[in-house]
A and B are shown apart, each in its own frame.
Chain A
Amino acid sequence: MAEAPTALLTTADGRPLKAALATAQARARRRAFLLVLPLLAFVLLTFLIPIVYMLKRSFEHDGFASSAPALAAWFDANPDFDPNNPPEEAYAALVQDLARMQVEKTTGIAGTRINYSVPGSISLFKKGAREAASLTPPFKESLPALDKEWARPALWRGMASASHVYTAEFYKVALDLKLTDNGWARGQDNERIYLYLFAKTFLISAIITLLCLLLAFPVAHLLATLPMAKSSLLMILVLLPFWTSLLVRTTSWIALLQEQGVVNNMLVALGLVDDSGRLAMMYNMTGTIVAMTHVLLPFMILPLYSVMRVIPPSYARAARSLGATSWTTFRRVYLPQTLPGIAAGSLLVFILAVGYYITPALVGGADGQLISNLIAFHMSKSNWSLAAAIAGMLLASILLLYWLYDRLIGIDRLKFG
């Protein structure tokens, strides 16, 4: 069968149409890319690079490796040494490094690095470095004579681990492990805090998300179905708190809910509670949940509203006319159509709640503390690597949830407005 010669379509100047089209499209794409470029650069510079840098910090620390080269070299040569009884060469390398730290003024950096896993090391290193030059061999005896801590197996394990620039140590600490004389082990009950706070943070965030959904759904429905004039007025009432400073809203909840606050005073005046039995609604978990629910409510209302507004009321009417009860209509017809809004709102509120810091700090009291408060604590105490490790775990768990969410609900069903 002979192939029919296809007439090649060309443009007016004789170029094949296909090629001309491709060039034109490429040009348009380049122009579009140039328009997006500023945003891309901005996101890269202020978002992605800091995150990468933070993650890098969570497993990188050269404080000890760079200030104790002799000992680091010895650890490299003897990876299987016995921390319970390190040989004289190890002590000699350590004393040599201590003397060097004193000259180079790196005692603090090295001590701080070891202190992360073996508390008490900063002053130990300072003392050791001051005396290092006057110590005499055998160092295996003279150094522990200065302070018996120098012979502690945990310290040697800590130094061996810190002599590498890259380490998983900060993640171990963030998983409530403690460096003991026998290696990394689960800390004592009264010292474990991070995993517990992770669990609590996710639980509280889930409760807040649920409360926001329950409160926001009817409001959003009302907003979507009322005539324009009334719904605009209502919308302002929703947005007004949204525009108010977070601190103002948090402190007004304190004024309302504290023991001598407005709500308790009213209950006492009405005789509903006794003056000595005022309700504790602030500086505890209740306070955190109430204040955070209020602060995050608009993030649920707005996506729900934008989805509900475009649901044609005729669907529900059709269902009713076909004999469905109002409950069935809601469950089978209306609710499924609002799912993209519910999904978007829940995701927004949950992710914001997980990282919330200032509200729990102000109203949390003893048991309303969240994981972000500990990140802030380690930032302020300049243990940035541990803060980065906890933040990294938080980021990982949110990405995991996002992935689960995508598998279960599907990210393409998300609708923000």
Chain B
Amino acid sequence: MKKTLILTTALVSFGFAANADVTVMSWGGAYGAAQTEAHVKPWSAKTGNPAIMVDSDNPAPAIKAMVEAGNVTVDVASVEYADAIRLCDEGILEPIDAASLPPAPDGTPATEDFLPGAITECGVSTDIWSNIFAYDSSKFSGDNVPRTAADFFDLEKFPGKRGLRKGAKAVLEFALLGDGVPAAEVYDVLNTPEGVDRAFAKLDTIKDQVVWWEAGAQPPQLLADGEVVMTTAYNGRIFNAAMTEGKPFVIVWDGQIYENEMYVVPKGAPNKDLAMDFIRYATSTEGLRAQAQQISYGPARKSSFAEPIVFKDGKTVMAPHLPTAPENLGNALETSSDFWVDHDAELNERFQSWLAQ
């Protein structure tokens, strides 16, 4: 059976098993472009090894399929934090030696330079991204603008439709934050049946005003079309729409829910050693800085902030736009991968059932 699976997968993956030395798989769009410009091209130029970027809806299931079929064509993949943990537990990923990561320019070892949790057994953070909510400043202005997660759920003060991601993750946490639960207690509350009920009860208060989105490109579009007055979104997408398309979007950082995005190496990668070298390069102080110049997702190394990071337009200073900026971390929550690895399926079934009621 394994053999036949290899055969079928070989047929399917025929297309991009090109003769490039190192293949990096990421999410495409503005994000994939940022990693291509910041990591793939410079690494290739520096080491002389050809490298290509391939796009995927979500690299995690793709590499799992490859490893299970025994036909791995990807050397490095960019996956969500919880997936980096889960796939590592399932034996799908190569362990990465944290000691081999390059130190900061001042000699601080990588393990101390990275923020806590940014290096795991099988993954190294490429950036920190965040679920935030944003509003259209042409709809609300002056003093009457949303400032807190609670305002998102306040239909009296801020009437109008809301955009929310169609899924349990980051939505249930956001509902609790909006209900006044302190960030430090959110997962304790959510770990109880009453806490889950409380989150759904909060969502009930705006349910008939919600437009649900699934793809990251949708929320800026919903805002631009005037379909919603405010929406949750990935912060980089809103930043890009505001910077490059001049949209009047404002990000509210109160109640942001952030997490690391991880570079991982699938087990059996054709160029494992080169892949590790790529990850060492990409997650160096300079590598992380270079990515933050392309898109407003924050580096997970403290040393990357030694000098101000400037956006590719040459004038916008990135610091205040990053999830990790001190002023943005006032009421912020880090996604608990432990919680979601355990409860993803269960809470999502509840969520789908709640949606259908």
Contacts and interface: CB of A to CB of B under 8 A. Distances in A.
B356 interface: yes
A53 B5 CA distance: 8
Contacts of B264: none
A126 B341 CA distance: 12
Contact of A369 (B7, B87, B355): B355
B5 A122 contact: no
A122 B349 contact: no
Given A53-B5, A107-B89, A382-B86, A197 B356 contact: yes
Contact of B61 (A107, A382, A386): A382
Contact of B345 (A107, A197, A381): A381
Interface in A231-270: 258-261
Interface in A101-137: 105-109, 111-112, 115-116, 119-123, 126
Nearest to B64: A382
A367 B355 contact: yes
Contacts of B11: 45-46
Contact of B90 (A49, A112, A190, A361): A112
Interface string A375-417: 0011111110010000000000000000000000000000000
The CB with the most chain A CB atoms within 10 A, among B214, B341, B348, is that of B341
A44 B58 CA distance: 28
A361 B345 contact: no
Given A53-B5, A259-B227, A381-B344, A366 B212 contact: yes
Contacts of B352: 193, 197, 369, 374
B90 A108 contact: yes
A119 B346 contact: yes
A128 to B, nearest CB: 14
Nearest to B68: A384
Nearest to B222: A258
B245 interface: no
Nearest to B92: A382
Nearest to B338: A123
A190 B354 contact: yes
A191 interface: yes
Interface string A178-199: 0000000000011111001100
A366 B212 CA distance: 7
Contacts of B89: 107-109, 111-112, 122, 126
A28 B353 CA distance: 59
Contacts of A369: 352, 355-356
A109 B88 CA distance: 10
Taking chain A's interface residues, is the majority helix, strand, or loop, or is none over half, making it mixed? Answer: helix
The CB with the most chain A CB atoms within 10 A, among B1, B7, B352, is that of B352
B344 A105 contact: no
Nearest to A383: B345
Contact of A190 (B4, B211, B353): B353
A410 B355 CA distance: 40
A196 B354 CA distance: 12
Contacts of A190: 350, 353-354, 357
A49 B4 contact: yes
A108 to B, nearest CB: 2
Contact of B356 (A53, A196, A259): A196
B345 to A, nearest CB: 6
A49 B8 contact: yes
B106 interface: no
Interface in A334-380: 361-362, 365-367, 369, 374, 377-380
A362 B225 contact: no
Nearest to A193: B353
A126 B211 CA distance: 38
B349 A108 contact: no
A115 B90 contact: no
A56 interface: yes
Contacts of B225: 258, 260-261
Contacts of A115: 342, 345
B342 A380 contact: no
A294 B5 CA distance: 36
B350 A45 contact: no
A191 to B, nearest CB: 5
A313 interface: no
Contacts of A108: 86, 88-91
Interface of A: 45-46, 49-50, 53, 56, 105-109, 111-112, 115-116, 119-123, 126, 189-193, 196-197, 200, 258-261, 283, 361-362, 365-367, 369, 374, 377-383, 386
6 smallest A-B Cβ distances: which pairs?
Answer: A108-B89, A119-B346, A193-B353, A260-B226, A366-B355, A193-B352
